[in-house]
Amino acid sequence: MPQISTVRATTAVTPYSIALSNDLGHVWAADEPLEAGGGNRGPSPHQLLLSSLGACSAITLKMYAERKQWPLESASVELHIKPGAAVGTDIVRRITLQGDLTPEQRERLLQVANACPLHRLLTGEVRIQTDLQA
């Protein structure tokens, strides 16, 4: 896995609006919807998490298909968090593959999606070390 850059999240003037940046110079935003007291100026933290899994899944599928020289024209990934799970959290992921793929290729691509780095991260043990800075 390539070196992952550092991401910074900083509160803004608008309640719950967050300015996000990384050490590569990218800047983006997060916020809560209006009904939750935010300014709706960006995706919610849950949407950002889902977008990470969706992007990783689609990129991994495209890379794998290109390496195999399979005719994958596009991959679309739709995700949502399923409410009401008794224990843990359920994410529903629907993948649409466009291209003249055999049933065997489609099945292999499903396996590849389930092995993308973010899928492995989210389904593995995650430890978070938190330090409070002065």
Model confidence at 84: pLDDT above 80: no
Tally the domains of the chain.
Answer: 2
Q: Residue 1 — pLDDT band, cuts 50, 70, 90? A: low
Q: Kindly state whether residues 25 and 74 are assigned to the same domain.
A: no
79 domain residue, yes or no:
yes
Strand duo 27-30 + 90-99: pairing: unpaired
94 domain residue, yes or no:
yes
2 domain residue, yes or no:
no
- Its domain, for residue 86, covers 45-123
Quote the mean pLDDT of the chain.
93
Distances (CA, A) of 51 to 74, 76, 78, 116, 118: 17, 12, 9, 14, 10
60 domain residue, yes or no:
yes
Q: Kindly state whether residues 64 and 14 are assigned to the same domain.
A: no
Helical axes 103-113 vs 45-68, angle rounded to 10°:
140
pLDDT digits (tens, 9 = 90+) for 44-62: 999 999 999 999 999 999 9
Other beta carbons within 10 angstroms of residue 31's beta carbon come to 22
103 domain residue, yes or no:
yes
Q: What is the dihedral of CA 78, 61, 96, 102, to 10 degrees?
A: -160
Report the pLDDT value the prediction gives residue 2, as an integer from 0 to 100. Answer: 64
Model confidence at 92: pLDDT above 90: yes
